[in-house]
Amino acid sequence: MRLDKARLVLVLLATITVVASIVSALSFDPRKVATYLMMGLTFSLTSIIVYYRKMEFLASSATHTSLLAVITGLMLEFLTGVQFPVWSLLIGLLIIYLAGILIRRGLEPNNTSAIIVASTSAFSVIGGYLLITSFPVSYNLNSLFLGDPLLLSSRDVFLVFLVTMTVLIIFILSMYEILSLGIDEVSVKLLGLRTGVYDALTYTIIGLTSIGLLRVSGYILQHVLILLPAITASFYSRSGKELILYSIMLSLFSCSFGFLLSLQFNLSPTGLTGVVLVAFMVNGVLRRWVK
């Protein structure tokens, strides 16, 4: 009975997601609606990895890293002619890999996160000031903070597609090993699994998501979109499979419904997506308390 109820809820969420997406696509640019849904899928997969690997600290610091990486990338694009997404991904992933190396060398994860957040935040302020005052870059910096899925360029759409496909492929091919490391790392090491490779893949997923999707999600809401899907799903699921399904569906539902509401009320799509996710989380917490 419980399993049937869980399936019914998933089917209901999927149905509303499809309907909301179709209505949004008919009212707005279908390409941008699809891009926003791809963003939701990518964040949900990353959230699952972060939840099982207990890397919320790294995910939170990655959002700060992404801001610095994109600002630096914009300046380097002006100086070198190489498009800023290339620079941003290279710089951001380098910083996240460095954080991973520090953790593997024994530095306490929370301390590593504090160092990354403090240093990248300081340099982001300096970089943002230099970008505004010294570089004739015609780029709306507000979109980096608030997200701007309604005004995406063809380059933005292609980047989101590329990030989504890369994260999806890595997730499908290495999901079992990465999640097993989070559940029982000692046993996995005893079985001879090359944990360093899957740690690197985990860092890559977090980095690609936070840096590649910053223009769409915005710096402020990234924390919500990358952390809440799996955490919220844990209040509704009773197994690992259900958690994965709920995480994906809740993220897609929140994105489709949030996007539709934004068109109706002329508000931020990312903000409304975050509100929907938070509402599900609050309901899940209350349900857990009642039980």
Q: Is the pLDDT of residue 200 over 80?
A: yes
| Residues 66-96 as b or e (16 or more Cβ within 10 Å = b) | bbbbbbbbbbbbeeeeeebbebbbebbbebb
| pLDDT recorded at residue 136 | 82
Q: Is residue 164 part of a domain?
A: yes
229-256 average pLDDT score: 93
Confidence of residue 1 (pLDDT cuts 50, 70, 90): very low
Pairwise pLDDT comparison (288 vs 157), residue with the higher score: 157
pTM of the model: 0.92
Residue 235 sits at φ, ψ, to 5 deg, of -80, -15
- From the list 179, 195, 253, the residue with the least C-alpha distance to 14 is 253
Q: What pLDDT is stored for residue 257 in this prediction? A: 95
Task: Dump pLDDT digits (tens) for 171-183.
Answer: 999 888 888 888 7
CB 237 within 8 A of CB 6: yes
Question: Number of structural domains, the chain?
Answer: 1
Which residue segment(s) compose the domain that 132 sits in?
Answer: 2-145+152-286
- Burial string for 234-260 (b: 16+ CB within 10 Å, else e) reads bbbbeeeebbbbbbbbbbbbbbbbbbb
pLDDT tens digits along 7-30: 888 899 999 999 999 999 998 999
Q: Which of 163, 144, 173, 246 is nearest to 205 (CA)?
A: 163
**Euclidean distance between CA atoms 278 and 267, whole angstroms:** 17
CB 227 within 8 A of CB 47: yes
Nearest to 51 by CA among 187, 279, 217, 226: 226
Nearest-CA neighbor of 116 among 97, 88, 141?
Answer: 97
Task: Compute the mean pLDDT over every residue in the chain, rounded to the nearest whole number.
Answer: 89
DSSP 139: -
Residue 246: in which H helix or E strand, if any? helix 240-265
Rounded Cα distance between 222 and 275, Å, is 13
Average pLDDT of the residues in 247-252: 96
What is the per-residue pLDDT across 48-66, written as a single tens digit (0 to 9) for each?
A: 999 998 888 888 888 889 9
DSSP classification of residue 236: T
Separation of CA 149 from chain center: 14
User: 145-168: per-residue pLDDT in tens?
Assistant: 888 888 888 889 999 999 999 999
- Residue among 36, 5, 20, 57 at smallest CA distance from 246: 5
Tell me the mean pLDDT in the region 283-287.
88
Kindly state whether residue 271 falls inside one of the protein's structural domains. Answer: yes
Residues counted in the chain: 291
> What is the distance between the alpha carbons of residues 38 and 46, in angstroms, rounded to a whole number?
12
- CA dihedral over 182, 185, 191, 192, signed as positive or negative: positive
Cα–Cα–Cα angle for 25, 22, 206, nearest 5°? Answer: 75
Question: Does some domain include residue 291?
Answer: no
- CATH code of residue 260: 1.10.3470.10
What per-residue confidence (pLDDT) applies to 105? 86
Q: Does a structural domain hold residue 229?
A: yes
